[in-house]
A = this chain, B = another copy of it.
Amino acid sequence: MQFGADTAAKGVRERSFMLTCAGRRIPGLLWTPSDNDSPRPVVMLGHGAAGSKRQDYILALARGLVRHRGLSACAIDGPVHGERRADGGTVPGLDFADFVARWSSDPDLIDDMVADWRATLDAVQALAEITPGPCGYWGLSMGTIFGLPLVAAESRVAVAVLGLMGFAGPTKDRFAADAAAVTCPLLFLVQWDDELFARDRAFSLFEALGSTDKRMHVSPGVHAEVPAEEFEASGRLLSSHLTV
């Protein structure tokens, strides 16, 4: 784990890092308190398609978890996103279709990303300022496409926020097995007017999740219009299961 830029603002330290896993470079960010080194549980934040580890809502969520919820947070760029892109993420215009093309053509895409997350979790939890063991996962849309299999596979994930996704897309068949294997407490978010993933398919995914401690919050609006209160609800749930 190689650290790069190290900055701090309003009580939050942000470090960039680079890992490798099976030859893949994994660019990431880690957020911890700037004034307190006692170990805290970490929440993995999975960004959406056409976003990156540094998109607005990931930054806001990470900073809020550190400032108000007694947690730390980390994020990594998804495949074909951010610093993993050939252009380093500097060319605007990557959209959902670019991701879907890769999602449709690369049978290893999901398992590779799950491996990347687990390598990241291993590295981050080896740090003195991160609590080993129970951690959280938060990711919507593409963050659920990768997050659902991750939460199903990784027993350290003790609480999760998923959503903006249903039984749909090239990997929908594997989602059935993944969903059944998810057993941690979780919040599932749905946008009523989601134009990318129809709500009925999201409802079916919610039903299939193996967790007994689960709840679904539905808000009016299209895919990208998740309201601020659901970020608050996310922080509340993550914190309630990871802090004393």
Contacts and interface: CB of A to CB of B under 8 A. Distances in A.
Interface of A: 192, 206-207, 212, 214-220, 227, 229
A214 B191 CA distance: 12
Report the copy number of this chain in the oligomer: 2
Given A192-B207, A207-B192, A218 B215 contact: yes
A220 B214 contact: yes
A11 B216 CA distance: 34
Given A215-B219, A217-B218, A218-B218, 10 more contacts: A192-B206, A192-B216, A206-B218, A212-B220, A215-B218, A215-B220, A215-B227, A216-B217, A216-B218, A217-B217
Nearest to A207: B192
Contact of A229 (B192, B215, B218): B215
A46 to B, nearest CB: 23
B215 A215 contact: no
8 contacts: A192-B206, A192-B207, A192-B216, A215-B218, A215-B219, A215-B220, A216-B217, A216-B219
A203 B207 CA distance: 15
A229 B212 CA distance: 15
A219 B229 CA distance: 18
A217 B218 CA distance: 6
Contacts of A218: 206, 215-218
A227 to B, nearest CB: 8
A206 B219 CA distance: 10
Nearest to A215: B219
Nearest to A227: B215
A214 B220 CA distance: 7
Contacts of A212: 220
